[in-house]
A = this chain, B = another copy of it.
């Protein structure tokens, strides 16, 4: 979807993509919640519609009537300003609204949104801004649909496939090398008129000491050395919280790794496959990533270091027509780190904190990002499951340090 497309075109494309993602899933698949952190597909489809209904239609269209009064609570994720929320951990108890009810809800919201967006370019700025936010929001949930479905199917002893042909991280065949950066004052953060979340702002200067960044993410082969060295049971490599986490949950490999007889397999969206040594390691927690870096005599990069490196990589020209992001070829051309975008999210050493001068958006939408600035760690770059138009160098993703069901890997720094 080219960036000059009209808002209506973009709306239709993003909404259609969500439904395309749900297409391989039965009503049963879409109803189940495999853990409190994950949500049923059906819920994602409804919640993203609720977002447009609540923040665009109800807030901005005179006379708009709610599709169903109970949905205000059922599909509110965490917006306290909007009112009560249905308990997150119980989203999987809802056989009703059915898949068909949710489809009707989406269709209703789409009709009203499309009628509104057809007025472009006479839309007021708030409608444009919130609709754009809603599309970015829905793209985030598109990635969550994939991660949550992968988790749900991965808990099933039958190890079912979602579908074949989904993008996967590209193999990191090249030997690891180090790319150097000189010390100095650098600017990071978002500036300009393009869309960005409030937490990417404001752009600001940071002073960085000289550092080196690995030319590619850590691979499965490299991670196997960690496993085989017994490092999961050796506290010397871990933070205290990380080691307690790994021991109490008997963690001894990345999520979705399966040992069958003497070989390692990995559960993918296409079902179980033999582990490929040269793929980037994926589905590790920050605790594991940090421990690996220590084991490897290195460290995780800070988010500022990562962004400084990423700004030198040409991004905009590499948007794949497929709707996914494949800028790898060009990245490999020079002395630039490769695979920064679109393979695995890369854990950084940086806790999620506000940038100097950060101001949350006003009103309920101020709850979008700011209130999560505690106990979470920053990931950068975007994964194979991230919509391509959603990826940019300033993007700040964040999860708790024990989360591993995201497409999360790591890159070393020193």
A260 to chain B, nearest CB (A): 15
* Interface status of A155 (Cβ within 8 A of chain B): yes
A interface, size bucket: 35 or more
A350 contacts across to B, CB distance below 8 A: 353
20 residue pairs bridging A and B, Cβ less than 8 Å apart: A26-B27, A28-B30, A28-B95, A28-B96, A28-B98, A32-B94, A32-B95, A70-B158, A95-B153, A96-B160, A205-B207, A205-B209, A209-B357, A239-B374, A286-B374, A287-B374, A299-B354, A351-B351, A351-B353, A375-B375
Query: Pick the contact of A240 from B81, B98, B371 — CB < 8 Å?
Result: B371
B240-A156 in contact (CB<8A): no
Interface centre among A80, A152, A371 (most CB of B within 10 A): A371
Mask of A24-43 contacts with B, CB within 8 angstroms, 1/0: 00111111101000000000
Residues of A328-352 whose CB lies within 8 A of B: 349-351
A74 contacts across to B, CB distance below 8 A: 157
Query: Pick the contact of A32 from B31, B80, B86, B160 — CB < 8 Å?
Result: B31
Per the bound structure, the CA–CA distance linking A300 and B90 in Å amounts to 35
A156 contacts across to B, CB distance below 8 A: 93-96
A349 contacts across to B, CB distance below 8 A: 353-354
Mask of A200-240 contacts with B, CB within 8 angstroms, 1/0: 00001111110000000000000000000000000110111
* Interface status of A381 (Cβ within 8 A of chain B): no
A30 contacts across to B, CB distance below 8 A: 28
* Interface status of A194 (Cβ within 8 A of chain B): no
B209-A207 in contact (CB<8A): no
* Interface status of A393 (Cβ within 8 A of chain B): no
Q: What residues of chain A have their CB less than 8 Å away from a CB belonging to chain B?
A: 26-32, 34, 70, 73-74, 78, 80-81, 86, 90, 92-99, 152-153, 155-158, 160, 185, 204-209, 235-236, 238-243, 286-287, 290, 299, 349-351, 353-354, 356-357, 371-375, 401
Per the bound structure, the CA–CA distance linking A322 and B117 in Å amounts to 58
Copies in the complex: 4
A235 contacts across to B, CB distance below 8 A: 80, 371
B28-A31 in contact (CB<8A): yes
A29 contacts across to B, CB distance below 8 A: 95-96
A244 to chain B, nearest CB (A): 10
A189 to chain B, nearest CB (A): 12
Query: Pick the contact of A92 from B32, B157, B158 — CB < 8 Å?
Result: B32
A239-B372 in contact (CB<8A): yes
- Given A70-B157, A239-B374, output 12 extra A-B contacts at Cβ < 8 Å: A28-B28, A28-B98, A31-B31, A70-B158, A80-B235, A95-B160, A96-B158, A96-B160, A205-B209, A209-B357, A287-B374, A299-B354
Per the bound structure, the CA–CA distance linking A359 and B206 in Å amounts to 22
A70 to chain B, nearest CB (A): 6
Query: Pick the contact of A95 from B31, B206, B238, B375 — CB < 8 Å?
Result: B31
Nearest B residue (CB) for A352: B351
A88 to chain B, nearest CB (A): 11
Q: A152-B93, A152-B95 are in contact. Are A240 and B372 (CB under 8 A)?
A: yes
Q: A157-B86, A240-B371, A353-B351 are in contact. Are A93 and B28 (CB under 8 A)?
A: no
A373 to chain B, nearest CB (A): 6
B81-A236 in contact (CB<8A): yes
Query: Pick the contact of A204 from B158, B209, B354 — CB < 8 Å?
Result: B209
